[in-house]
Amino acid sequence: MKNVLTIAGSDASGGAGIQADLKTMCALGVYGMSVITAVTAQNTQGVYGVQEIDTDMVDHQIRAVFEDIRVDAVKVGMVSSAGIIRTIRERLRVLGAKNIVVDPVMVSKSGCPLLRTEAVPAIRGLTEIADVITPNIPEAEILAGFSIKTEEDMRRAARVIAEQGAKNVLIKGGHRMEDGAGDLLLADGNFVFLQAGRIDTKNTHGTGCTLSSAIASRLALGDTVEDAVRAAKNYITQAIIDSYDVGKGTGPVGHLTALYRRAGMEIG
């Protein structure tokens, strides 16, 4: 069994953050562990409050896991302050963490800022240690420093982010207006454009968390970066198709529906 650690925030409604990460890891056959960086009061309609975990406690959680358990991959998600970001970066560097996937979460789908403005420069410190970084278009624009409208803009941004230290860059294209706008992967110096049609559903809560956790899980299982990204995209695509109409807003994707079906449970 491979072991994967997620370092991220908690989502009270269960669709994103730590909860989405652990469900994804379970579905993909790895043992999931968690370090909580913040507790959020949120549901399918929005984020209503964020309380950061003390920086020392974040550090203690990371050390406790690594001192006892082999860690085959790490996913880093919501980190809201510069202090927490620097702590994570330094601790993972000292511990020699491998297969680090960074999802630079900055704003929730409902528009709530999840990263303090003064912490934006510090997020580049995580970029430096990332084996894979997975920004969406708005996040890539902040990291690269310019607007992204076209596929060529995505390529240029990926190069800039790679120059900041990331070994591999996946820019998620879902925010582009074109139908079926795909994702762009810069892996080992080569570009791969991953086209996918849009799925007619409003229930996409936790897609970014889920994708990055799936990539980390597949890397832990021994995939190359390109194979891990392709497998993760297949997983998240099916999870969106199997999404749940839970709550009054943007519902969660179906992380565990394949397991439910095997158990003979009805989905929906």
Catalytic residue among 32, 77, 208, 254: 208
Catalytic residue among 6, 204, 210, 257: 204
209 is annotated as an active-site residue: yes
Q: Which of 192, 193, 132, 191 is nearest to 165 (CA)?
A: 132
Catalytic residue among 17, 77, 182, 206: 206
Residue 192's identity, in one-letter code, is: V
Catalytic residue among 209, 210, 233, 250: 209
The answer to whether 164 and 127 are in contact (CB under 8 A) is yes
Catalytic residue among 2, 23, 75, 172: 172
207 is annotated as an active-site residue: yes
Residue 114's identity, in one-letter code, is: L
Long-range interactions of 56-63: CB distance < 8 A, separation 24+: 58/7, 58/84, 58/87, 58/88, 59/87, 59/91, 61/35, 61/36, 62/5, 62/7, 62/35, 62/88, 62/91, 62/92, 62/95, 63/91, 63/95
Long-range interactions of 149-152: CB distance < 8 A, separation 24+: 149/176, 151/184, 151/193
165 is annotated as an active-site residue: no
Catalytic residue among 207, 210, 250, 257: 207
9 is annotated as an active-site residue: no
The answer to whether 135 and 72 are in contact (CB under 8 A) is no
The answer to whether 106 and 115 are in contact (CB under 8 A) is yes
197 is annotated as an active-site residue: no
208 is annotated as an active-site residue: yes
Catalytic residues: 172, 204, 206-209
